[in-house]
Structures are given as C-alpha cells and as structure tokens.
Structure 1
Amino acid sequence: MVVTSVPAPASVPAPVPRPVHAAARANAANSGYGAPRAADPAGVATVVAGTGTADASSNPARQTLAARMAAARAVSATPVARAPAPAATSAAQQTQPGQQDPESIRRTALAFLQQQIAGLPGKTTATVAAAFPRGLAACTTLEPFLPTGARLWGRTTVGVRCAGERPWTVYLQAKVTVQATYYVAARQITPGEPLTAADLVARDGDLTVLPLAVITDPAQAVGATALARIAAGLPLRQDMLKSAASVSAGQTVRVVAAGPGFTISAEGSALANAAPGQSVRVRMAAGQIVTAVVKDAGTVEIPL
C-alpha cells in the first residue's frame, strides 16, 4: 500500500465561526463511530491507493499516484531480455596445435581390441570409453598395448603410448563382450554319473559374465562323468566333469619325459583335474613337483 500526503491549498478562506449552540447541535447529530468528519481546510489530505472509488481526476495527488502505479505495472509486464546462454561445452574440444587429439587415442585403442578379439567364439564387441587427456604432445605413431594383468574379457583396460621426443602413456577403460552359446544342466546330476546329450540345454548369453571354463561345445560334456553334484539349470564347467581321457586330482599317472633317443617315465600323483592338452602339476614319488601336459587318462608328458 502506498500513501501520499499532499498539503491542502493555503488560499482557502478561513471558515466563519459558528454559534456555540449550533456547533453543539451539529456534534450531537453527527457524533458516534463512523460519523462524517467536518472538513478541515487547514489539515492534510491523505490518499490511500486502491482503497477509494473516487475519480482520480478529482485530486492531483491521486493523479500522480495513479501515473506512478501504471508506470510500475508497465515495467513489470515488460519481458526482460536475457543474455543468451553460453553454448554447451563439447566433450571433444578443439585440439590445440602441437597437441594429440584425444579421439585418435580412443580410436587406436578400439582398433587394437577389435583385432585381438577377432578369433574368439560367438559375436564379439568391444567398446572404449572416451578419452579426455589434454596437453599431450602430438605423436606420429601411437602404440596400443594390453597392460600387465589385463585380459581381453569383460571389463578391462587398454593402454596407448607414444615413444617420441616427449613420451607419454594413457590408460583407457574398455569392455569386451562375447555373445555365444553355452550349456546348462537339464536336470540334477549325481557324482559319478555320465552325461548324455539329453542332459544338456543350450543357452545364449555373454560369456564374459560366466565362469571361464563354461562348456561351449557339447563334445566337452557328453560322455564325461560328474565330479560332484550338479544342480539343474547350473552352467556346466569343465572343472565339474571328468572326461574319459582326462585326469583328476589325486589320480596316479605315468609321467613321461622323452627326447631324441631316450624316454624316461615314472609315477606321480596329479594335483588337479585336467583334460587332454591341458597342463597339470604332478607330485613325484621323491616329493618334487613337475608340470606336465595330459596325453590321455593315465599319462602326462613333461615337455623338453
């Protein structure tokens, strides 16, 4: 609420004194709460904006106040021109002269992964997270590599380095997926029970989220016997089964070492399960441990 006070005009003639008895009668007739007050030319006229219904032209102060309020409403109704928002900063900002383009680093790492996983079974895909290194010296030859301990399977890391005058190395997060068929047990299988084709059910999925030894070929399981109880629906693994040509932990095997013109053999005890072609550690009778390759169900060979 806005209140404006305007002094009354000084030129108004002073009122004619009224008789005392007339003033008393007037006060008696107009007394009480809400009675109209007598005009006081020497007083101050007060105008309260928005509380009266009289015409604004009847009072100069009301005219001034109305003009001010109209101007204020016009200003508030006028849309404020906002400064244009800055353009969104792109993740791939323009590379400065003499600096290495981060996107070229990512492309190099991706091409390296795609080449490495080309021989894996099933449908393989590789993705590499965007690279944001800044200030790296420009390099004419980028060298991608797999860091020690990393593998081309699931979530992994790939490195890219430059061996120029200003060498640098960066590591990028990557992911490899392998969509292929694997097999699960169609029913519960008891220890020592041989598996048939009817005991296998094919499933399709990402092998990188499954155990590494999961069965992907029925020939790896059919004819083998279960080493332990296998629940229905459980993905079959090679370490769950013993094939007719494999060895199992604790089994006595013949250890053979052959070379040009000689053959040496001795007995030992296998320390793990292994299929033909796989390496297995064997404890010899004297206590030493050797590593050999499984040839058949009872023979392992030490490569020379």
Structure 2
Amino acid sequence: MEKLIFCLMLCACNLAIAQNSEATQDLVQLKLLAEDFLKQQTLSYPGLIDISTTQIDRRLKLPACDNPRPFLPSGSRIVGKVNVGIRCTTPKPWSIYLAAQIKVSGDYYVTAKQISQGQAILPTDILKVSGELSTLPAGAITNPEQVVGKSLSNSLASGSIVRLDAIKTTPIIQQGQSVKIISAGPGFQVTTDGVALNSAHEGQVARAKTISGQVLSGVAKLAGSIEINY
C-alpha cells in the first residue's frame, strides 16, 4: 500500500512538473506583432503615424504558438481607436484582442474666406493647417491639387474644412451632345455616332440614340464616348 501511495504521489508530482514546464507564449512578442501589423496597414496614409497598443495582462498564460497571425475584425476602420486580433491555430488554438490607438498627423486644407456655391477655388482661397487627420471628416483634402480650379457644389464659410464631396464635378457626357458609341466583344469592335439622352460622369450608365433611332445603353468613358461590352 505504501508503495502504491508513493507511486501515485510520484505520478502527480511529474504531472505537475510537466504542466508547469509547458511553454507559454511571449506576450511582449504578441504586442510587437500587433503594432507591426498596424504599421503595414497604414503605410499608404499621409502624414506621421503614431501607433500604440495596450499592454497584455501578464497573468494571461497562452500556450506557445507556432505562427501567431494578426487580423482586423470585419468592417474595422484603421484609424482612431481600433481592436486588433491575434489568432493561433497550432499546436493549440486560441485568439486574443488588443486595443490600439492610431493617430495620423499631417496637413489638410480649410477655406481662407467664405466661398460661394459655383465659385472656382483659387490657391489663395484655401489655407494649409496641421493637425490629427484621424479626427477629420471623411474626404478631407490633403492635397491642394484636388480642389484648385474646381468649383463648389455648396457655399463654405471661412475656416471650413474642404472636403471632396463639396467639389462640384462636371459630367463627362452632357445630355444632347454628340457621342461615339463603341460596341466591343470577342474579335470585333463597332463604332456608331449618336446623341446622349442623359448626362453621366465617368463610369456611370449613359443612354444614347443612334442615327437610325435605336436607343443603346453603355458606360460613360472619357472623350465623350459610350462603351458597350458584349
């Protein structure tokens, strides 16, 4: 009986040692992995990028992973406050999430004075200012070439952030203008003259009537043409 008890105690001791010696994941490595992943995701952003992630609770014991892979939850916007996940599949599956803060600092443009609807924007009408781009509304202008020479679709007060959706765009095809209708398919291309029945921007659907009276629909292209692919 004493030998049996001794064996059981020895087995339990060995089991405890094995459990305690099981390799655990380096949490600092995971933090660095998440930050490097976010840096790669923001390479195309203008300005200076500052990325910080929260510390992982040191009490967390994760089995060592052969190849931890970072990811972003579906629909995530990679700016401001975000969550980045890290997933493991082998040898034991697990996943965790880290809170991160992404700040983008750079130049953007505001109006130097009030600009009326339809007025063409001059270089002196806008001012360059610096700030955190991640807090700006979508479409904020970061390059003056995006707006200089173009007109506004609505009036802007002095000091307003200039946005792309405030710029009035001109359709590349105007209703009533003469157009070229290009019908193309495998091994053929036919060009027909016609008259546009609606105005359309590049990539939008445009309708036109041919000289014979046939009405065709296609995609508006530059140089006032309508392309139909078969």
Match of 1:107 among 32, 53, 67: 32
How far did 1:165 drift?
2.8
Residue in structure 1 matched with residue 140 of structure 2 by the alignment: 214
Q: Distance in 2 between matches of 1:180 and 1:263?
A: 49
Q: Distance in 2 between matches of 1:142 and 1:127?
A: 19
Where does the alignment leave 5 or more consecutive residues of structure 1 unmatched?
1-94
The count of corresponding residues between Structure 1 and Structure 2 is: 195
1:131-280 alignment to 2 at 5 Å? 131-132=56-57, 134-243=60-169, 261-262=188-189, 268=198, 270=200
1:180 and 1:193, CA in 2 relative to 1: closer, same or farther beyond 3 A?
A: same
Task: Say whether the 8 Å CA contact 1:99–1:136 is kept in structure 2.
Answer: yes
Task: Say whether the 8 Å CA contact 1:126–1:176 is kept in structure 2.
Answer: yes
Q: Distance in 1 between matches of 2:104 and 2:75?
A: 20
How far did 1:154 drift?
1.8
Structure of higher CA gyration radius = 1
Residue in structure 2 matched with residue 11 of structure 1 by the alignment: none
Residue in structure 1 matched with residue 212 of structure 2 by the alignment: none
Task: Say whether the 8 Å CA contact 2:85–2:98 is kept in structure 1.
Answer: yes
Q: Distance in 2 between matches of 1:134 and 1:220?
A: 49
1:17-96 alignment to 2 at 5 Å? none
Q: Tell which has more relative contact order, 1 or 2 (C-alpha 8 A, sep 6+).
A: 2
Q: Distance in 2 between matches of 1:291 and 1:103?
A: 56
1:150 and 1:243, CA in 2 relative to 1: closer, same or farther beyond 3 A?
A: same
Match of 2:44 among 119, 123, 129: 119
How far did 1:296 drift?
4.5
1:181 and 1:190, CA in 2 relative to 1: closer, same or farther beyond 3 A?
A: same
Q: Distance in 2 between matches of 1:300 and 1:158?
A: 45
Q: Distance in 1 between matches of 2:35 and 2:54?
A: 9
Q: Give the fraction of aligned pairs with identical amino acids, expressed as a percent.
A: 34
- Post-superposition Cα deviations, 1:57-88, rounded to whole Å, max 9, x if no partner, equal xxxxxxxxxxxxxxxxxxxxxxxxxxxxxxxx
Task: Say whether the 8 Å CA contact 2:116–2:156 is kept in structure 1.
Answer: yes
Task: Say whether the 8 Å CA contact 1:190–1:230 is kept in structure 2.
Answer: yes
Task: Say whether the 8 Å CA contact 1:224–1:244 is kept in structure 2.
Answer: no
Instruction: Name whichever structure is richer in strand by fraction.
Output: 2
1:263 and 1:103, CA in 2 relative to 1: closer, same or farther beyond 3 A?
A: farther
How far did 1:291 drift?
11
- Post-superposition Cα deviations, 1:172-220, rounded to whole Å, max 9, x if no partner, equal 1112221111100111111111110010100001111002211111111
TM-score, L = length of structure 1: 0.54
Which amino acid in 2 is paired with 1:225? S
1:240 and 1:291, CA in 2 relative to 1: closer, same or farther beyond 3 A?
A: farther
Which amino acid in 1 is paired with 2:150? A
User: What is the Cα-based RMSD across aligned positions, in Å?
Assistant: 3.6
Task: Say whether the 8 Å CA contact 2:182–2:189 is kept in structure 1.
Answer: no
Q: Distance in 1 between matches of 2:62 and 2:80?
A: 29
How far did 1:231 drift?
0.9
SS at match of 1:98: coil
1:124 and 1:295, CA in 2 relative to 1: closer, same or farther beyond 3 A?
A: farther
Task: Say whether the 8 Å CA contact 1:221–1:243 is kept in structure 2.
Answer: no
Where does the alignment leave 5 or more consecutive residues of structure 2 unmatched?
1-19, 209-216
